[in-house]
Chain A
Amino acid sequence: MAELLTVKNLTIGATSYPPGEPPKDITIVDGVSFTIEKGRVLGLIGESGAGKSTIGLAALAYGRGGVRITGGTVELDGTELTGLKRSGLRRVRGAKVCYVAQSAAAAFNPAHKLGDQIIEAALRHGILDEAAARKRATELFGVLSLPDPETFGDRYPHQVSGGQLQRAMTVMALLPSPDLIVFDEPTTALDVTTQIDVLAAIKHAIETTHTAAIYVTHDLAVVAQIADDIMVLRHGKTVEYGTAEKIITRPDETYTRDLVSVRSITHPEAKDQSDRLLSIERVDAGYGRIQVLEEVSVHLPKGQTLAVVGESGSGKSTLARVITGLLPPSSGTVRFKGEALPAALSGRSREQLRQIQMIYQMADTAMNPRHTIGQIIGRPLTFYFGLRGAKKRERVQELLDHIELGKGFIDRYPAELSGGQKQRVAIARAIAAEPELILCDEPTSALDPLVADGILKLLLRLQEETHVSYVFITHDIATVRAIADSVAVMFKGRVVRFGPKSDVLAPPFDDYTDLLLKSVPEMRLGWLEEVLSERKMAAAGN
């Protein structure tokens, strides 16, 4: 088969401006080569900062921000892209190569109808006239199983869901019948139950239109379902490049093996349910007239972990706000060590506040960017225990050692740390208060898989050492398997399933838990087809 895109020795650089230092050139992508044949899909995978999106955009000869291609060649269908002038590039972009952005919600213009935006590129390039473009858009809406294909284009971006928007963006990319589509993490921002639909739609669309694609993601399990070839990247360099089958089943490099075996942490379930630390009894809560939680009852024994699972909007984070006292429930009680906690934050004593600490999803926004790490971790020490001066500094350093950060971090600012390091600092801040319960609100969902693994291991180790209990909010079943003792599945503000992990994650399932469990991509080839054919069978059976 003919080669569509040939990339040789691609080097991409940018200029960085560190404060107080002269500007310096940095290399983002270093000597990457690959080829894509017509109708085939290449998966680019790596952690954040690996240069995968940058390579994806290089297929459009585009550099985001100050990024520029400094060496190598990008040849599309016989045309060298790196040397092209703007007018030449315009003929290629949006016509021969199309792009699907990570956040479709941010990429669509909220002031225009979806249909008008979707056909715009094809009209501009003169590939189709308006009537033909609208007709093809309607067909493609059908292919991607969007609701009401005839009228879907008349809606505005805010009138459709996130998963539908992502599919609409795929329609936009498919419409001019391009030779190549670049998918930049198209499902990362979606719930697992939505992700599977979008994945299936994209896969189906690629198969029916015979277009080639570059699929960028950090989730190896996702890319395994879609890609023919996979390239693993790290720090801008190729780690391993081969067919999907080889990368998943017979990886050569250690780093790839780590990626394949990620989330293999196991945590034996604690059986003893007697010593109840926290119990939430028939709690209703909401914002204004909108009720978010309905009759939520769960409990958690001392030294164990309760995982709260559900998709976005299911009320998981609201439950955490009720426990902390930020949102007093409209009815029901929260008991801590057998005593009812005052509903509102202002009614709780300092001692009660100390015993419940919180870890947030985004460590970036959870720490004051103007405070040093020492100040951030030191504040609870002063606030709860009155530690000051050298003693406080000593204890902060002890805590830093405890979270495996070591020396040299105490006087730095959060912005100088990586995502994983920031989350570790947030954990240190929580354990500085020596709490009995830590609420973890999706602490690993914004992190790369390997880094997230490290955080989970740290949390487990801390639990063993200090017998702290966790309420762990997540949408990721793999994380639940890794750390939970008991599990509560939430759906639309209700707990649909609650019990020990072994019971909740074992059949017979209710419909929602079943859907949730089956939607988690598995690290093997053919998983998506299996799930889809199972669904079809179920549909035929009904």
Chain B
Amino acid sequence: MRARDIPLSAWIGMAGIAIVIIAVLFAPLLAPHGEREIVGDIWQPVGGDFLLGTDNLGRDLLSRLIYGARTTVSVALAATVLSFSLGMILSFTAAVVRGWTDQGLSRLNDLLMSIPTLIFALVVLAVLPQKMWILVLVMAVLDSTRVFRLGRAVATDIAVMDFVEAARVRGEGTIWIIFREILPNALSPLLAEFGLRFAFAVLFLSTLSFLGLGIQPPAADWGGMVKDNKDGIIFGVPAALIPGGAIAALAICVNLVVDWLLNRTTSLKGGRG
């Protein structure tokens, strides 16, 4: 794999992600002002004393955007990784073991999916204490139902292949079959789903924050910033569009990279996609 073989789109995606990661890691060094510090008038225009202007309370928008990347990206990433681990392990187990295990897990999954995600999240988060890890857990569990559906469909296809049968005949255990025989072959579709799910997680977190159940103020997060500044749109203040644009840009960047990875893994030695 040489650098010049990587397409431009992937480079753009990786650059975008790199910028976000740098912001996440070095937020206190990069931000010109504090996260909660009121530094001027409300809704000052872009480009004046403050690079991106100020928000509805007069805080520096750029600083909040950089701090917001921390919470938004880390919570969304943690939730997505957790939901994938959960969904994949359970779905692969269901596909390999079959029988009652499969029935039990699949019906439980149907049950969870039958309740509208947002309403479910609102009810649960309203009842439980407002802690970051609870938020991550709720998002992960709700998202894992989608992963389970996809994972089971992919894994049942692979589980009937001769090489899986060969492994069974050799006497391999379920763990080996799941992680060594099925997982490498299911990676491509799951990777694509991961990019998409991560983008959704950012959006979902933003939705929750917008409704007041996600990240609690005064901590900054991108969705919450949109909410704080939404009234400005009526007066022609673009402050709400900046965090909104950041969410969109991150989602696109992640998907550009995933698309490239997907191309690479599906063409990998002509293996199945």
Is A257 among interface residues, defined by CB-CB distance under 8 A? no
In the assembled complex, A391 has its CB within 8 A of some CB on chain B: no
Complex: A360 Cα to B165 Cα, angstroms: 10
Given known A19-B268, A20-B5, contact A367–B170 (CB-CB < 8 A): no
Interface residues on A, range: 20 to 34
User: Does B98 belong to the interface (CB within 8 Å)?
Assistant: no
**What is the minimal beta-carbon distance from B160 to any residue of chain A, in angstroms?**
10
Measured CB to CB, the nearest residue on chain A to B171 is A353
CA distance A366 to B162 in the complex (A): 5
5 A-B residue pairings within 8 Å (CB atoms):
A325-B169, A345-B169, A354-B171, A369-B269, A383-B170
A19-B268, A368-B184 are contacts. A326–B172 as well, Cβ < 8 Å? no
> In the bound complex, how far is the Cα of B181 from the Cα of A297, in angstroms?
35
- Give which listed residue, A350, A353, A380, A413, contacts B269 with CB less than 8 A: A413
Query: Is B163 within 8 A of A367, CB to CB?
Result: yes
Contacts A19-B268, A369-B185, A415-B271 given; indicate if A362 touches B162 (C-beta within 8 A).
yes
With A370-B184, A370-B185, A370-B271 as known contacts, state yes or no: A345 contacts B168, CB within 8 Å: yes
Q: A19-B267, A20-B1, A360-B162 are in contact. Are A369 and B272 (CB under 8 A)?
A: yes
- With CB as the reference atom, state the residue of chain A lying closest to B184: A370
B interface footprint on A346-359 (CB within 8 Å = 1, 0 otherwise) = 00101001101110
Q: Which residues of B contact A357 (CB under 8 A)?
A: 169
A348 touches B271 (CB 8 A): no
| B-contact 0/1 string along A408-433, CB 8 Å cutoff | 00000111100000000000010001
Taking CB atoms, residues of chain B closer than 8 Å to A368 are: 163, 180-181, 184-185
Closest A residue to B267 by CB, please name it.
Answer: A19
Total count of chain B residues near the partner, CB < 8 A? 23
B interface list, Cβ under 8 A from A: 1-2, 5, 161-163, 165-166, 168-172, 180-181, 184-185, 267-272
Q: Are A350 and B171 in contact (CB under 8 A)?
A: yes
How distant is the Cα of A433 from the Cα of B169 in the complex, in angstroms? 12
Can you name 7 extra interface pairs (CB under 8 A) apart from A366-B166, A368-B163, A414-B269? A353-B171, A368-B185, A370-B184, A383-B171, A415-B269, A415-B271, A433-B170
Smallest distance from the beta carbon of A437 to chain B beta carbons, Å?
12
Bound-state CA distance A371–B269 (Å) is 10
Min C-beta distance of A504 to chain B, whole Å: 29
Asked, given contacts A20-B1, A350-B171, A360-B166, whether A365 binds B161 with beta carbons under 8 Å apart, the answer is yes
Interface of B is mostly: helix
Q: Which of A325-352 contact B (CB under 8 A)?
A: 325-326, 345, 348, 350
Residues of B within 8 A of A353 (CB): 169-171
- A348 touching B171 in the complex, CB below 8 Å, given contacts A369-B185, A370-B185: yes
- CB neighbours (8 Å) of A429 from chain B are 166
A324 at the interface (CB under 8 A from B): yes
**Which A residues fall within an 8 A CB radius of B?**
19-20, 324-326, 345, 348, 350, 353-354, 356-358, 360, 362, 365-371, 379-380, 383, 413-416, 429, 433
Distance in angstroms from A349 CB to nearest chain B CB is: 9
Complex CA distance for A72 and B166, rounded to whole angstroms:
48
- In the complex, what distance in Å separates the CA atom of A353 from the CA atom of B173? 13
Question: Does A365 lie within 8 Å of B267, measured CB to CB?
Answer: no
Question: Whole-angstrom distance from the CB of A246 to the nearest CB of chain B?
Answer: 40
Give the complex CA separation of A19 and B161 in angstroms: 25
Taking the closest CB of chain A, its distance from the CB of B265, in whole angstroms, is 9
Roughly how many angstroms separate A350 CA and B171 CA in the complex, as a whole number? Answer: 7
Is B171 a contact partner of A326 (Cβ separation < 8 A)? Answer: no
A303 CA to B5 CA, complexed, in Å = 53
Report how far A413 CA is from B269 CA in the complex, Å: 7
Bound: A370/B270 CA distance, A: 10
Contact in complex: A379, B185 (CB < 8 Å): no
Identity of the chain B residue whose Cβ is nearest the Cβ of A367 in the assembled complex? B163
B124 nearest CB across to chain A (Å): 38
Name which residue of chain A comes closest to B265, CB basis: A370
In the complex, A348→B170 CA distance in Å? 11
Cβ of A430 to closest chain B Cβ, rounded Å: 9
